Amino acid sequence: MTTDLRALTPADWDAWYGKLELAFGGVAESAEERALWNDLTEYDRSLGVWDGDECVGTAGAFSFRLTVPGGASVPTAGVTMVSVASTHRRRGVLTSMMRRQLDDVRSWGEPLAALTASEPAIYGRFGYGIATQQLRAEIDTDRVRLSVPDGTDDVRLRLVKPDAEGVPEACEAVYAQQVAVRPGMLARRPGWERLMLLDPESDRKGSSPLQCVLARRGDEVVGYARYFNKPDWDAAGPKGTIELRDLEALDPAAYAALWQHLFGIDLTSKVKLWNRPLDDAWQHLVSDSRRCDLAPRDSLHVRLVEVGAALEARTYQAPVDVVFEVEDAFCSWNEGRWRLSGDAKGASCARTTDPADLALSVRDLGAAYLGGVSLASLAAAGRVRESRRGALAEASLGFASVVAPWLPHGF
């Protein structure tokens, strides 16, 4: 097979994106969604594989900044829009795109790549490890009660149109203050606020248009929640569902006030969550977690493109001085031994000829990188091997994050 792998041009976008839609089931997105993704596409960071005049492979890489433990915002390639035509599978198309893309990311000086996967089994062979999970839940608000902290009643709530003047900006300001707090969060560049406002009627499936409630303390917006209300009835009466899109708050009282609002909306008996942190605090406000139907799911897959730079970019909650033997068949420049020395103030990581303390693949190093996956748990699965006694405990404690890493939205 003779194919042409090349950077995307604006003239190619419709054909390129159409092939992506076909690969994901063939259902065309709304004009609103297509316009947004067209505007957000970074052409010089996007790839297409062409067989003659037909696009048979797609891949993109947004230029993001990702929060890592310690609060630093690290340049990261947000891998996205990856597809291969069903007629060209098992011909090396995906591998060729991953090869070119990781070479490009390295040349751009970005130490990390990250993605969300439609099929999690695909990307491990390219060095991506599952670094964050998202919590899903369905809360029975007829039976579950909230216990809220002092000050909750002092927070004023107002329903507003999500796109009303000043509202998106107020929500983005709250979000921006949260980004440095939790590993895995993305600093949203201009234009990305539109993603959280997408509301094509074809996607509602009986739900209301997107709704928004702001939490205020005085004149300051201290939180917000955006959600859909899906009404339903049976012989016993109303049993509607609130489907939460996103919620952020700057303090416990504002946070609790927003959840209290969601629980108390008339004619509803459920709140559904599709993507919340594993340690989301509402779990400590509810009276009965068994009636919340909790379920985790993989979210952000992380790939260390430059091992030394990536490990230096974060801090470590306990002192670490460990030599890693890193296996990386796909990006051979990472292969070998690296000495990591770091603590809560900073870190250094450089090549060494010293004996290895721990051996692992770059995939598992990526899984542990944001602090949500324990090196000790990977070792228990045989994926990390300890050569110096005590090194595993030392590294596991140092790599851990105070809060669970979390990706608040896809890309």
Residues with active-site annotation:
123, 411
Of 353, 319, 318, 360, the residue nearest 339 (C-alpha):
353
Tokens of 58: 């797609």
Identify the residue whose tokens are 């809360």: 139
Of 410, 17, 389, 409, the residue nearest 175 (C-alpha):
409
CA distance 234 to 241: 13
Q: How many Å from the N-terminal Cα to the C-terminal Cα in the chain?
A: 31
CA distance 255 to 276: 13
The SS3 call for residue 115 is: strand
Q: By the 8 A CB rule, do 6 and 52 touch?
A: no
Length of the chain equals: 411
CA distance 237 to 244: 22
What string of DSSP letters covers 318-333? Answer: S-EEEEEEEE-SSSGG
Of 296, 307, 367, 360, the residue nearest 331 (C-alpha):
307
Check whether 94 is labelled as a binding-site residue: yes
Q: By the 8 A CB rule, do 102 and 334 touch?
A: no
Check whether 92 is labelled as a binding-site residue: yes
Check whether 83 is labelled as a binding-site residue: yes
Check whether 89 is labelled as a binding-site residue: no
CA distance 249 to 255: 5
What 8-state DSSP symbol labels residue 146? B
Residue 335 exposed, middle or buried by CB count within 10 Å (0-12, 13-18, 19+): middle
Check whether 93 is labelled as a binding-site residue: yes
Tokens of 262: 């969601």
Give 234's contacts (C-beta < 8 A, 6+ positions apart): none
Q: Which residues of 234-254 are buried (b: 16+ CB within 10 A; e: fewer)?
A: eeeeeebbbbbbbbbbbeebb
Give 236's contacts (C-beta < 8 A, 6+ positions apart): none
Check whether 70 is labelled as a binding-site residue: no
Check whether 204 is labelled as a binding-site residue: no
Check whether 119 is labelled as a binding-site residue: yes
Beta-bridge partner residues of 348: 341
* Residue set of the binding site for acetyl-CoA: 82-84, 90-95, 118-119
Binding-site residue numbers are: 82-84, 90-95, 118-119
